[in-house]
Chains A and B, each alone.
Chain A
Amino acid sequence: MFNSRRSAEVLEQEFLPIRAKVLEVAAALDRLDRGAGSLASDARRAQIQAAIQILLRPDDDRAEQVQLIFSRQFRDDWREEFDI
């Protein structure tokens, strides 16, 4: 792995950017909730919720997991479906 920085050093650089991004997400969620109507049936709202849950895990591949939350599934048998 090409990363020799200490965690404390990374935090020093990333604390304010992370704080700003978390605030942006919090404010955007508040904005959604202030809107009229319900998003209960909108799959995108559930995707956001699932992605936020991933952020709370101690895993080291959270970015990849979040990407997959927002991705269509891959099926191994796609060639048969397309007759290719």
Chain B
Amino acid sequence: MYYIDPHIHMVSRTTDDYETLAKMGCVALSEPAFWAGYDRGSVDGFRDYFEQLIGFEPKRAGWYGIQHFCWLCINAKEAENVALAREVIAMIPQFLDRPGVLGIGEIGLNKNTKNEATVFLEHIDLAIRTDEQILIHTPHLEDKYQGTRMILDMLCDDGRVNRERVLVDHVEEHTVRHVLDEGFWAGMTLYPVSKCTPGRAADIVELYGPERLLVNSAGDWGPSKPTAVPDFILEMRRRGHSESLIRRVVYDNPVAFFSQSRNFVFNPPDVTEAAGV
């Protein structure tokens, strides 16, 4: 089955991973800007990173027939440096018309601090002023519930936000309902230890249905599995779910969400297979 991984950090992965993803049926992916494992020291560090996301990664993906898209921001972990964050936010519009840039992301909260909230709100304002879609990171572990509720408060407070153009990522059992009930898209991240497993993600699809739900691997430099989406596909098949339901979550939904971005120029793979014929 063809699929799209809507959240994966390929700058942290090898070229061999691109090849493996292609062999597993991945035809496109989107890569949000994130934390490199260390705090960058200047706005130029982000400029170089954005160039890598927009320039080199699509080329590397293309060697294996995968279409690469990306999102730009300064992540929540570096938002404690509000002055630097503002420099980066001011620079982002220079890149928004480049090919493959889908919007602002992954913005959000990490430890749910005032500075993080301030920078999150300024990213939201940027996205609205530039008519960009938004991809949101929700915090880890014990901070997730509180942070997700805070993020939803900030989004819902701003009447300019078009909820159909916002994806709130890393939802789990205690946050998915809040996100979907407010009209946003929700992403489930499949991780070996934290976040969701393929089985729990399948449970969430069974409980809430496929509407506005995505699954991703969020593969990065930490413990993660870039082929986690095929694991989810297998789990759904093992439970007897139809190919059309599975494809809705792993292919049709990402296409529908991304299609709201002017830079989502997507060449679908073989249409016969995609239609499940």
B and A form one assembly: yes
Are B150's CB and A70's CB within 8 A? no
Selecting from B25-33, B35-43, B236-244, the interface stretch reads B236-244
Say if the beta carbon of B203 comes within 8 Å of chain A: yes
Say if the beta carbon of A78 comes within 8 Å of chain B: yes
Are B142's CB and A84's CB within 8 A? no
Q: In whole angstroms, what is the CA distance A16 to B163 when docked?
A: 42
Residue from the set B146, B154, B174, B239 with the largest chain A CB neighbour count within 10 Å: B174
* Listed A/B pairs (5) with beta-carbon separation below 8 Å: A2-B241, A13-B239, A79-B153, A82-B117, A84-B117
Which residues of chain A have a CB within 8 Å of any CB of chain B? 1-5, 13, 61, 63-64, 67-68, 70-75, 78-79, 82-84
Minimum CB–CB distance from B125 to chain A (whole Å) comes to 13
The 3 A-B pairs of least Cβ separation, nearest first, read A67-B174, A71-B145, A3-B206
Are A84's CB and B114's CB within 8 A? yes
A68 proximity list for chain B (CB < 8 A): 145, 174
A67 proximity list for chain B (CB < 8 A): 145, 172-174
B121 proximity list for chain A (CB < 8 A): 84
Within 8 A of A (CB), among B3-58: none
Q: A73-B146, A74-B149, A84-B114 are in contact. Are A64 and B206 (CB under 8 A)?
A: no
B210 proximity list for chain A (CB < 8 A): 2
B271 proximity list for chain A (CB < 8 A): none
Within 8 A of A (CB), among B136-154: 141-146, 149-150, 153-154
Minimum CB–CB distance from B20 to chain A (whole Å) comes to 26
Q: In whole angstroms, what is the CA distance A74 to B210 when docked?
A: 28
What is the chain B residue whose CB lies nearest that of A82? B114
B245 proximity list for chain A (CB < 8 A): 2
Within 8 A of A (CB), among B199-217: 200, 203, 205-207, 209-210
A75 proximity list for chain B (CB < 8 A): 146
Q: In whole angstroms, what is the CA distance A70 to B153 when docked?
A: 21
